[in-house]
């Protein structure tokens, strides 16, 4: 069942403090309270407090993070909002399905990530997300204010919480064994770093001309929802491959 206290709203590099306050207000009206700010341009700020209109407690609890990895520490499910299509598209779902996806997942914390007001999320930031959340809008005028987007997603989350629990179509193998829980996003990111290094060492990846290999591999693994034991297993395989590559080179 969805627990609104386990959902983080993450704003990446917000440039307008008023949007931070308005987002806090949007969250509180729907029962959410965990706000994370990644490198905000101006915060704390009087305009944020004014636009919060009584959601001062949400602002007081807000955590300011240096980067997205810090904001996602401890999270097992990440959804990134983006209106912009990519050359290599990410698994995309609408807001209601995003809320249902969070509602279906048992255990672990979830985060919904919102990008910059002008440019949204970078490809690298979106690659940290299991799903891209796209808000359908008028194709001739699809611009949506940051706080309005937060309000819409929080509304869908509140509806899902009220609807009650649903079955998880991709449950972890054993909820009682923490080793069989979904891997935290920071563990997955460390695996990706290890994977890229190992592929370069065995000369499968050309770092001078990587094309979209790592993006495709990240999309594949994000889609499978790796468990903690699976991450450890894969990294063990990579370590063994690196060892053999070193021996083959006479190292």
Return the pLDDT at 90. Answer: 87
Tens-digit pLDDT profile for residues 90-104: 899 999 999 999 998
How would residue 120 be classed by pLDDT, with cut points 50, 70 and 90? very high
The structure tokens listed for 134 are 């796209």
Q: Is the pLDDT of residue 172 over 90?
A: no
pLDDT at residue 166 in the model = 66
Share of the chain above pLDDT 90, in %: 75
pLDDT (average), residues 27-35: 98
Identify the structural domains of the chain with CATH numbers, from first to last. 4-163 (3.40.1280.10), 178-248 (1.10.8.590)
* Most confident by average pLDDT, 55-69, 164-178, 236-250: 55-69
pTM: 0.88
């Amino acid at each position: 069942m969805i627990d609104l206290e386990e959902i983080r709203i993450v704003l990446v590099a917000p440039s307008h403090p008023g949007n931070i306050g308005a987002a806090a207000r949007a969250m509180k009206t729907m029962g959410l309270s965990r706000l994370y700010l990644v490198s905000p341009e101006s915060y704390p700020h009087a305009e944020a407090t004014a636009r919060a209109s009584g959601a001062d407690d949400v602002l007081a609890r807000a955590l300011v993070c240096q980067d997205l990895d810090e904001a996602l520490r401890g999270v097992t499910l990440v959804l990134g909002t983006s209106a912009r299509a990519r050359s290599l598209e990410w698994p995309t779902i609408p807001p209601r399905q995003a809320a249902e996806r969070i509602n279906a997942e048992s255990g672990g914390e979830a985060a919904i990530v919102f990008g910059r007001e002008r440019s949204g999320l970078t490809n690298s930031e979106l690659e940290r997300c299991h799903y891209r959340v796209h808000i359908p809008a008028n194709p001739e005028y699809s611009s949506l204010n940051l706080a309005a987007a937060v309000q819409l997603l929080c509304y869908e989350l509140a509806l899902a919480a009220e609807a009650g629990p649903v079955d998880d179509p991709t449950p972890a193998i054993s909820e009682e064994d923490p080793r069989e829980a979904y891997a935290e996003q920071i563990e997955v990111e460390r695996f990706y770093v290890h994977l890229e290094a190992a592929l370069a060492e065995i000369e499968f990846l050309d770092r001078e001309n990587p094309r979209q290999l790592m993006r495709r591999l990240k999309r594949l693994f994000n889609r499978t929802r790796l468990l903690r034991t699976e991450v450890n297993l894969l990294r063990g395989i990579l370590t063994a491959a690196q060892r053999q590559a070193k021996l083959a080179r006479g190292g």
